[in-house]
Structure 1
Amino acid sequence: MQKKELYDPPPPVPVYWIENSDSVSRHFQFEPDGQLSVKIIDDARPASRRMVESFQNKFFPSGYPYSVNEGYLRYTQFRALQHFCSATLSVLSTQSLLFAAGLRPTPAQATAVSWILKDGMQHVGKLICSNLGSRMDSEPKSWRLLADVLYDLGTGLEVLSPLCPHLFLEMAGLGNFAKGMAVVAARATRLPIYSSFAKEGNLSDLFAKGEAISTVFNVLGIGAGIQLASTVCSSTQGKLVVGPLLSLVHVYCVSEEMRATPVNTLNPQRTAIIVADFIKKGRISSPADLRYQEDLIFPGRLIEEAGNVKVGRDLHKVVKPSELHQIKEVFPEERFILNRGTKWTDMILERNATGEDALRGWLVAAYAADIEKSFHKHNEEVLEEAYERMNNVFSPFLSELQAKGWHTDRFLDGNGCRFAS
């Protein structure tokens, strides 16, 4: 009886294809486990171009420059230089701290306790700064700049510590306290800044490539710091010359980073500039147009063309209880209260007011100031006419605002006072 021969089924034919794109031929093939493998089989690009594109793929988001908003390259350039200076300063300050701690005529155990207490002050600074998160959402650029000023201040105290070794704990503790606040502020503002560049929902890619650039320049900065610490800055006098120069470059780089960032959320300063441009020039600025008009040092300044509006003051400081109902009745359907004074106009928003409500109130205040300047009328007549003007222009104004890329669903007033109707 003949045995029936068994035949194994033939192996599956591999699925592969070749793509030719931009002088590069790539072989794509699905492996048995379902993974897609890619191999370059021919690359006719010049070596210099391959190096540039390899660098771009590692340190810039996929699809750059079309996947990010305007200003990203300038932001990245200054961020790289900022991290280089920061890492160099860190090496110099650490050397100074070790030198100061070693000079103290105390047992090693006491020195260790002082060092631990010094590090503990950084955590205290972090806890205090963590309560200011809503203000950082409103003004991420200003807080990012303040963070680096605090960091340089803390580093400066550490560099100076060898001059008074008997005050090591006080100097180093205060320096670490400032650096702790700086760390929280810098990390908290990182997300809104990166979000302003994300054009295609590629926030994670932006974050990853930004951290890659930071890591490279931090390493280069540490190398430069070690070189300086062993040569020019081996003495405290050398650090007192080089340290301030590095700090100036550091803060300048951060300010240029922030000026290049086109933040597209509404806060008091950006809303005031948008309204002022619209009233004065009849145009609406995009986030990229407006970025260089922002004041990073005094973000709360009043803008006359926008009606000198202040947002978020305590209700009891703005309106007397006996007048509250009467003022609310001026615009009964709106989610804002306007109280016009001699120097500025107070606006208080309802708890669930959006960016659109803030824009409506701001336009009313700006039109009211413009009418009062041109025609001497009673306050009630001025507000009524201003409200009518606002209603006539608001729909096209809002549509163009959103088309320019502004997010009007929220208004970030920095934890200002709001009322509940």
Structure 2
Amino acid sequence: MDLLNKFNARKKDPVKSPSLPVSWIEVSDSVSRRCQFQPDGHLSVKIIDDSRPAIQRIVDSFLNTFFPSGYPYSVNEGYLRYTQFRALQHVTSAALSVLSTQSLLFAAGLRPTAAQATVVSWVLKDGMQHVGKLICSNLGARMDSEPKRWRVIADVLYDLGAGLEVISPLCPHLFLEMAGLGNFAKGMAVVAARATRLPIYSSFAKEGNLSDLFAKGEAISTLFNVVGIGAGLQLASTICSSIQGKLVAAPLLSIVHVYCVVEQMRATPINTLNPQRTAMIVADFVKSGRIPSPADIRYQEDLVFPGRLIEEAGNVKVGRALHEVIKPSKLVEMKQIFPEEKFVLNQSQKWVDMVLEHDASGEDALRGWLVAAYTANIKGPSHEPTASALLEAYEKMNDVFTPFLSELQGKGWHTDRFLDGAGSRFAW
């Protein structure tokens, strides 16, 4: 009985063990870290030993600050080259900005000191710059389709605006006009650059780390903009203290600036489907049976004239209005041949027009493009393809499309949307 009472007493008053945090030691790259879960569930990490050389610690600290976590395995190919030229681009851009704003001070009759250059940057943000931003904001769909091209255009516009400011002392009586046009161009450049930033960063994201990529990219921009401002102040107080020096240095800085942007964009593996990239994918597949990845075709993209026709892909052109490219009788024939498809094809003198329905996806565009490419190989020397040639091409497309699409998605392409740059579509 006494034993039973003691047992019941222990059940009523159990011994409470103290809540101790869980901790462990991690050793990696000559660094020992103590990791510990606090009672509230948060994890704290403390370095308790670091035997790395000082230079290695500095390098690792730099990488942690300016590169995404897990670099280089957390990003796609081309990110380092993109970042190198982006850093140089910001240096030249910031230096050029200092020279241009100092020249505006000269034209306005203010005392020509380099330190006053920052005043103009603040004063001239409104007015014509806002007009440029409003105009450029209407081109968002085109920027989605061709972000690399519009990123280059943005920096060309920026340099054009800066160039107008640099030469403003040569015509001080036109100060307001030169400053207004310069800020108009810069306003358009700001919108284009910001609008294309997200799709460019997205092309490098590999592990859901878009925010990390964006944050590190902004850190790089900030650091090298400061370096560029310092370089610009040095130039403004030495060889560029006169308008003659600026007329020599500004074009050189502008050339380096645009070259860096072009190299950045060439290194960027955009993985969305637009007319140019779709044509390149289809051309490679029809010629060799190989499906390229976004990294494979990045250096083949035309940043200046993206609408070029590719013969191996059927010379397809997308985006024209339906009523402009096909007659009603021909439209009925096309819908009889392809009753379930969301595209219409029509052969013109030099190319094949493809018009998409309003809800057509990237897969629908790929189907139409493959039909056009196979038809071009089947029809022979005749200009207008016959119904039998179209049906043969359609059957061939259906035979290969499922494995083609599967491999395409496996290479990292996003096929859910087709970005045609606000091209015309139709609805029944």
Instruction: State the match for 2:356 in structure 1.
Output: 349
For the pair 1:405 / 2:412, whether they are aligned, the reply is yes
Secondary structure of 2:404's partner? Answer: helix
- C-alpha distance 32-403 of structure 1, shift in aligned 2 (>3 A): closer
Structure 1 residues 377, 310: closer, same or farther in 2, change over 3 A? closer
Tell me the CA shift for residue 370 of structure 1. Answer: 1.3
1:108 counterpart residue number: none
Q: Is the 8 A contact 1:61 1:205 kept in 2?
A: yes
Q: Distance in 1 between matches of 2:348 and 2:235?
A: 57
Contact 2:322–2:426 (CA<8 Å) still a contact in 1? yes
Partner SS for 1:278? helix
Call closer, same or farther: CA 1:386–1:33 in 2, change over 3 Å: closer
The answer for unaligned runs of 5 or more in structure 1 is 1-8, 105-111
Query: Residues 323, 32 of structure 1: CA spacing in aligned structure 2 closer, same or farther, 3 A cutoff?
Result: closer
Question: In the alignment, is the contact (CA less than 8 A) between 1:306 and 1:362 conserved in 2?
Answer: yes
Instruction: Return the match for 2:275 from 268, 283, 286.
Output: 268
Deviation at 1:10, TM superposition (A): 9.4
CA distance in 1, matches of 2:80, 2:380: 44
CA distance in 2, matches of 1:118, 1:289: 41
Q: Distance in 2 between matches of 1:342 and 1:96?
A: 53
Question: In the TM superposition, what are the counterparts of 1:5-154 in structure 2 within 5 Å?
Answer: 12-31=19-38, 34-102=41-109, 119-154=126-161
Q: Letter of the aligned partner of 2:95 in structure 1?
A: T
Deviation for aligned residue 1:234: 0.5
Identify the range of structure 1 (30-39 vs 192-201) with the bigger mean alpha-carbon deviation. Answer: 30-39
Q: In the alignment, which residue of structure 2 is the partner of 1:391?
A: 398
Tell me, what secondary structure is at the counterpart of 2:337? coil
Does the C-alpha gap of structure 1 residues 117 and 359 become closer, same or farther in structure 2, counting only changes over 3 Å? same
Question: Which string of whole-angstrom CA distances, capped at 9 and with x for unpartnered residues, describes residues 159-209 of structure 1?
Answer: 010100111111111111111000000000000000000000100000000
> In structure 1, which of residues 179, 183, 198 is the aligned counterpart of residue 186 of structure 2?
179
Per mean C-alpha deviation after superposition, the further-off stretch among 165-174 and 213-222 is 165-174
Aligned to 2:4: none
**Contact 1:274 / 1:284 at 8 angstroms: preserved in 2?**
yes
- Partner SS for 2:295: helix
SS at 1:119's partner residue? coil
Q: Which amino acid aligns with 2:187?
A: G
CA contact (8 A) 1:265 1:406 kept: yes
Q: What CA deviation, in whole Å up to 9, does each residue of 1:249-305 have, x standing for no partner? A: 000000000000000000000000001111112211000001011000000111111
Q: Quote the residue 2:342 is aligned against.
A: 335
Deviations 1:105-127 (A, max 9, x none): xxxxxxx9xx9788310000000
In 1, distance between residues paired with 2:366 and 2:265? 24
Deviates more, 1:93-102 or 1:247-256: 93-102
Aligned to 1:4: none
SS in 2 for 1:95: helix
Letter in 2 for 1:151: Y
Within the candidate set 332, 337, 362, 2:369 is matched to 362
How far residue 321 of structure 1 moved from its aligned partner, in angstroms, is 3.7
* RMSD of Structure 2 on Structure 1 (CA): 2.0
Deviation at 1:36, TM superposition (A): 3.1
Counterpart AA for 1:261: T
Q: What is the distance in 2 between the residues matched to 1:242 and 1:17?
A: 58
Contact 1:129–1:184 (8 Å) recurs in 2: yes
Look up the equivalent residue of 1:152 and give its one-letter code.
Answer: D
Distance 2:226 2:124 in 1: 28
Distance 1:70 1:304 in 2: 29
Q: Does 318-327 or 73-82 show the bigger shift? A: 318-327
Q: Indicate whether 1:223 and 2:230 are aligned.
A: yes
2 CA distance for matches of 1:99 and 1:32? 64
Deviation at residue 139 of structure 1 after TM alignment: 0.2
**Match of 2:114?**
none
Q: 1:10 to 1:304 in 2, by over 3 A?
A: closer
Question: Within 5 Å, which residues of 2 pair with 1:369-384?
Answer: 369-373=376-380, 378-384=385-391
Q: Distance in 2 between matches of 1:376 and 1:189?
A: 40
Measured in 1, the distance between the counterparts of 2:17 and 2:400 equals 73
1:15 deviation in Å?
3.8
Alpha-carbon distance, 1:319 to partner: 1.6
Distance 1:368 1:67 in 2: 42
Aligned to 2:324: 317
Give the 3 Å change call, closer, same or farther, for CA 378–411 of structure 1 in structure 2: closer
Q: 1:181 to 1:15 in 2, by over 3 A?
A: same
Q: Deviations over 1:13-51 (max 9, x none)?
A: 454322222211112234465543322111122222211
CA contact 1:118–1:173 (8 Å) conserved in 2: no
CA distance in 1, matches of 2:109, 2:136: 31
Q: Which amino acid aligns with 1:223?
A: G
Q: After TM superposition, give the deviation of residue 385 of structure 1 in Å.
A: 1.4
TM-score (structure 2 length as normaliser) = 0.90
Q: 1:128 to 1:323 in 2, by over 3 A?
A: same
| Structure 1 residues 322 and 80: alpha-carbon distance in aligned structure 2, compared to 1, 3 A threshold | same
Q: Distance in 2 between matches of 1:96 and 1:146?
A: 24
Q: Please list every run of 5 or more consecutive structure 2 residues that lacks an aligned counterpart in the other structure.
A: 1-15, 112-118
Query: Is the contact made by 1:119 and 1:173 (CA closer than 8 Å) also made in structure 2?
Result: no
CA deviations over 1:330-369 (Å, ceiling 9, x no partner) = 2111000000112100000011100000000000111111
Matched, 1:415 2:408: no
Quick one: which amino acid aligns to residue 313 of structure 1?
A: R
Q: Distance in 1 between matches of 2:383 and 2:172?
A: 68
2: CA distance between counterparts of 1:15 and 1:376?
76
* Contact 1:286 1:404 survives alignment (8 Å): yes
SS of 1:417 mapped into structure 2: coil
User: Given that residues 72 and 197 in structure 1 are in contact (C-alpha distance below 8 angstroms), is that contact kept between their aligned partners in structure 2?
Assistant: yes
1:238 corresponds, among 242, 245, 250, to 245
AA aligned to 1:349 is: L
Residue 299 in 1 paired to residue 293 in 2?
no
Question: Contact conserved, 1:103 with 1:165, CA < 8 A, in 2?
Answer: no
Q: Which moved more, 1:192-201 or 1:274-283?
A: 274-283
User: What is the SS of the residue equivalent to 1:18?
Assistant: strand
Q: Check whether the contact 1:117–1:169 (CA below 8 A) recurs between aligned residues.
A: no
